[in-house]
Structure 1
């Protein structure tokens, strides 16, 4: 079973430019710019956040964002998603059953977050140190599967190929086949879109591994763990906090994934949490 295909790309805006070469020459060039617009997220009629994002797969984005933020605990709680295009950008109006309005009001973030945002509205240090749920028992991913996924990734990034400026997050099975992929100008947004698409399709992120083109910051690790992933592969280096958080949760973390090598930063397959023991045969 695979994820539904991503939405068709919007008409990409073209731009002109002048390319200067190291040999002193220059030439006119036309490029497609990666779409980036303000996307306002509303939950049960309350404005929660405004993110800079690429306006595709917005229902997946709203679902994944709600699950990552703890606004919803399962896709079944999300009863309606209505993306609306407005003059300034997009509004995604989402209804979540059983959501406490008072609790939601306390968490509202009335600011625009950049597409490369850091703490994304977390306003105290204690919130960053909250324990993550333990990752369930899992087998180690075979490096050959990671290399197979990397080869398949290039041909699967439609927005990335068109613009050269989009992040991707993909769900891969144990052999490295890509079951589904989502893209966005923002690395966090791409992960949220993948989480939302998988949740809406009833696919578990923990059956294979998640492959991200993003820098491996602690937020990417946290989103992966909260969504039920067991193994995360990233193309770039991790931060020290990302490795530490992966270790505490028991997430298998592979980084610096290249055509010829990949680094295992933390082997979560060796971690057995009391609540994550394998079932008895």
Structure 2
């Protein structure tokens, strides 16, 4: 399975606009929010607002972390089609996962804001189902390793350099080296893009950790648990709900600030 991008030059992740300041024209870079439809075997499941970049990775990451499929091999093809109104991600599922999807799809369809959380659940009870632990014991994070990654993070976010208003998600090795970064106007989208790219590349999820520029909410922790990532480091505070999920799943959830590393 490999994403096939069929692109026309309609949507760009960064847009230059003109404004006025004290009567003079000023030029700004702003992020684009593109309506992105996730369509499975012809059935429209969700419309998200996302940065129009790395959408094949987004489709794969979203599909796995939102429970549409159990593994990347459940997806046969991903095609990306741009049009004036937005972008269609045409995703073809294998027969068995498509049958499961049809059962759930008959109950709901959804429209998401910019990387909405809790996409595709049918009831609050789904939030409290028993989760499979990602490890026997929570991973230990070395503060020096995390500091090394955090110091390099800003310099590896080209879209953020332009408009200063997008989120980033990075994969960090156990030595503190960032090997992959994805960006998006939505924090959930950035994480889905990163996790999708990691799965596409066959990355060993036990050999590193995820670093995000945002807070760690429940759904950010849930996405990491869904792919078996052992640790999530955020640059803003986690929520209490996220901490409870992380503890149940033995996911190391940590915050980095000027005070250093705090793990929960």
Query: TM-score with structure 2 length normalisation?
Result: 0.88
Whether 2:135 is the aligned partner of 1:136: answer yes
C-alpha separation between the residues in 2 aligned to 1:116 and 1:226? 17
Q: 1:129 to 1:207 in 2, by over 3 A?
A: same
8 Å CA contact 1:34, 1:54 repeated in 2 = yes
Q: 1:99, 1:85 → 2: CA distance?
A: 29
CA displacement 1:33-82 (0-9 Å, x = unmatched): 10111000011221111100011111101100111122222222221110
Q: Does 1:251 align with 2:236?
A: no
Q: Secondary structure at the match of 1:134?
A: coil
**Does 2:18 match 1:16?**
yes
Gaps of 5+ in 1: 1-8, 20-24, 266-281
On the 8 A contact 2:13/2:51 being kept in 1, the answer is: no
> What is the CA-CA distance between 1:111 and the residue it aligns to?
3.1
Contact 1:71-1:99 within 8 A present in 2 as well: no
Describe the SS at the equivalent of 1:243: helix
Q: For 1:215 and 1:45, locate their aligned partners in 2 and report how far apart those are by CA, in whole Å.
A: 34
Query: 3-state DSSP class of the match of 1:94?
Result: strand
CA contact (8 A) 1:171 1:205 kept: no
CA distance in 2, matches of 1:27, 1:215: 37
Q: 2:29 aligns with which of 28, 32, 41?
A: 32
Deviation at 1:102, TM superposition (A): 4.6
Aligned residues: 251
5+ long unaligned stretches in structure 2: 1-10
Taking the TM superposition and a 5 Å limit, the aligned residue runs for 1:52-91 are 52-91=49-88
Whether the 8 Å CA contact 2:58–2:193 is kept in 1: the answer is: yes
CA distance in 1, matches of 2:25, 2:193: 35
CA distance in 1, matches of 2:241, 2:13: 39
Q: Which moved more, 1:28-37 or 1:134-143?
A: 134-143
Q: How far, CA to CA, are the matches of 2:98 and 2:262 in structure 1?
A: 44
- Once the two structures are superposed, residues 78-98 of structure 1 have per-residue CA deviations (whole angstroms, 9 ceiling, x without a partner) of 211100011211001111213
Per-residue CA deviation, residues 99-136 of structure 1 (Å, 9 max, x unaligned), is 34453234335332111524334231101111221111
Paired residue for 1:269? none
Aligned to 2:168: 168
Q: Does 1:192 align with 2:192?
A: yes
Question: Which moves more between the two structures, 160-169 or 107-116?
Answer: 107-116
Secondary structure of 1:176 counterpart = coil
Hey, which of these two has a bigger chunk of strand by percent? 2
Preserved CA contact (<8 Å) 2:217 2:242: yes
What's the offset of the Cα at 1:248?
Answer: 0.6
TM-score of the two chains, using structure 1 as the length reference: 0.83
Structure 1 vs Structure 2 CA RMSD: 2.0
Which deviates more, 240-249 or 121-130? 121-130
Q: Is the 8 A contact 2:75 2:94 kept in 1?
A: yes
Question: Matched residue of 2:248: which SS?
Answer: helix
The whole-number CA distance in structure 1 between the counterparts of 2:76 and 2:119 is 25
